[in-house]
Structure 1
Amino acid sequence: MTVVKGDRRIQWVAGSAVVLALLFAGAATVASARDDGTDHAAAPAPRTPAVESADAGFARDMAVHHQQAVEMSFIVRDRTKDEEVRRLAYDIANTQANQRGMMLGWLDLWELPKAPAGQEPMAWMAAGHEGHTMDGMAGMGAGYRAHDGSLMPGMATRTELDRLRTANGKKAEILYLQLMTDHHKGGIDMARGCARLCTVKVEKRLAQGMVEAQQSEVDMMARMLAARGAKPRS
């Protein structure tokens, strides 16, 4: 995904989150070795997720998805003086930049590529761990055709981002809330997929937390749109 001006302003946040993710992963490994009372001298090393696994796929795809949410939040911050919208945008940017850093940190820890050649976004959602289609999962992201910079369901197009960059005041607020609502809905579907398919426990917990937090923000944004005489696009 193309790096834009806003990305440079969050590099320190995402970079710090990568370091924290690596530290937490190492601490969790040590803690589990101490707590279960098992003789780990002869125990096998924990299994590292494969490049085509749901764990790796979710980390890669959600990192890209989150990056755009951060970008949109920085854009609207400069297009409106409304404190309610600016506060929401700050919360989303801060939360998703940190989560993105964690997911990229896991990929580094697993020594997996962040953009493997030949793998389509969200392909991991259409198959279970044995390669068979999972009931209720095949439709999520399946058949989505990337266009105009929108790589996955919910992502804004370049044209929509350009509109946001040129909007001001109430128009910028409404467009941001509509685009972010769509973005969150796509992210919620993806997070539900990981909560069902991922095997790394800390990642499953993160995904479930995303579902709950982003659904709460979707509900909040619907109320904010209504207060501005608008509604979600879908």
Structure 2
Amino acid sequence: MPKPTRTHWAAITAVVLALLFAGAATVASAGGDAGHEGGHGGGTAAAPASGSADAGFARDMAVHHQQAVEMSFIVRDRTQDEEVRRLAYDIANTQANQRGMLLGWLDLWGLPKVESGSEPMGWMTSAKGHGGHGGEHEDGPGAHAGHEAGGASLMPGMATAAELEQLAKASGKQAEVLYLQLMTDHHKGGVTMAQGCADLCTVGTEKSLAQGMVDAQQSELALMADLLKKRGAAPRG
């Protein structure tokens, strides 16, 4: 991968600052929701359980978003096309902000950012079986692989290490097409995950964020399909 440019470092700095401000600005709001969404009258409800949809989504989507930020910074150095570079910056900035919110909520709830023994995406089935307040996940085959290996093999839409290496070596139109195809897959997986939280999470602020992700990423999917068409390509699959 080429040495980071001044533009690259400036973009990283902007994203890190945005992430920090976003996390600080939203944890109080999430904490207020956690105190009123649990349905326990006459007092402040407990924070979501570690195995709940709320916590599981926060952990998984933080990992998912981190890869989108990584891919977006890679392509910004591999093409001079302003449309793709603008899209990449928007995705990196937005998803870094959202990642800051998700990790901030986990801190507020006193929950670990990595839960040993839990399967990525397990919260979607666990929450359905426990009325939205899923308990601790049991250990099982591959239970540790998801988060401890970056979650790439188990979370929907994530690029493989080989695909990331391919993107880092591509340039020009080839890099643009590969990025748009990889990010299309990534967004489709992200929409599935976010819709799961919109349906299953109990913290109002997190549910709203998840629904916003669904709406925004579906809009970007349409944009990426148009950008691929302009380049004589199409989404994979």
TM-score if structure 1 supplies the norm length? 0.81
Cα contact 1:79–1:165 (8 A) shared by 2: yes
Q: In structure 2, what residue type is equivalent to 1:20?
A: A
Q: 1:229 aligns with which of 194, 211, 232?
A: 232
Task: Describe the SS at the equivalent of 2:127.
Answer: coil
Q: Could you tell me how far apart the structure 2 residues matched to 1:232 and 1:54 are?
A: 30
Alpha-carbon offset, residue 223 of structure 1: 0.7
2:66 corresponds to: 67
Alpha-carbon offset, residue 45 of structure 1: 1.5
2:139 corresponds to: none
Cα contact 1:149–1:156 (8 A) shared by 2: no
1:195 corresponds to: 198
Correspondences of 1:114-125 after superposition (within 5 Å): 114-125=113-124
Alpha-carbon offset, residue 22 of structure 1: 2.2
2:135 corresponds to: none
Q: 2:217 aligns with which of 203, 214, 234?
A: 214
Deviations 1:128-163 (A, max 9, x none): 354379xxxxxxxxx999699624110000100000
Q: Could you tell me how far apart the structure 1 residues matched to 2:100 and 2:127 are?
A: 26
1:139 corresponds to: none
Q: In structure 2, what residue type is equivalent to 1:131?
A: H
2:92 corresponds to: 93
Cα contact 2:30–2:206 (8 A) shared by 1: no
| Distance 1:68-1:47 versus aligned 2 partners, 3 A rule | same
Q: In structure 1, what residue type is equivalent to 2:130?
A: G
Gaps of 5+ in 1: 33-41, 134-142
Q: In structure 1, what residue type is equivalent to 2:235?
A: P
Q: Could you tell me how far apart the structure 2 residues matched to 1:47 and 1:132 are?
A: 16
Q: Could you tell me how far apart the structure 1 residues matched to 2:90 and 2:124 are?
A: 28
Structure 1 residue 204 and structure 2 residue 207: aligned?
yes
| Distance 1:128-1:25 versus aligned 2 partners, 3 A rule | closer
Cα contact 2:63–2:150 (8 A) shared by 1: no
1:140 corresponds to: none
Correspondences of 1:158-177 after superposition (within 5 Å): 158-177=161-180
Q: Could you tell me how far apart the structure 1 residues matched to 2:104 and 2:64 are?
A: 16
Alpha-carbon offset, residue 184 of structure 1: 0.2
2:138 corresponds to: none
Q: Could you tell me how far apart the structure 2 residues matched to 1:149 and 1:123 are?
A: 12
Alpha-carbon offset, residue 46 of structure 1: 2.4
Alpha-carbon offset, residue 126 of structure 1: 1.4
Cα contact 2:63–2:151 (8 A) shared by 1: no
Correspondences of 1:15-164 after superposition (within 5 Å): 15-25=20-30, 28=32, 43-128=42-127, 130-131=129-130, 150-151=152-153, 152-164=155-167
TM-score if structure 2 supplies the norm length? 0.80
Count of residue pairs brought into register by the alignment: 209
Q: In structure 2, what residue type is equivalent to 1:11?
A: V
Q: Could you tell me how far apart the structure 2 residues matched to 1:174 and 1:193 are?
A: 29
1:178 corresponds to: 181
Q: Could you tell me how far apart the structure 1 residues matched to 2:53 and 2:208 are?
A: 14
Deviations 1:106-132 (A, max 9, x none): 000000000011001010011335437
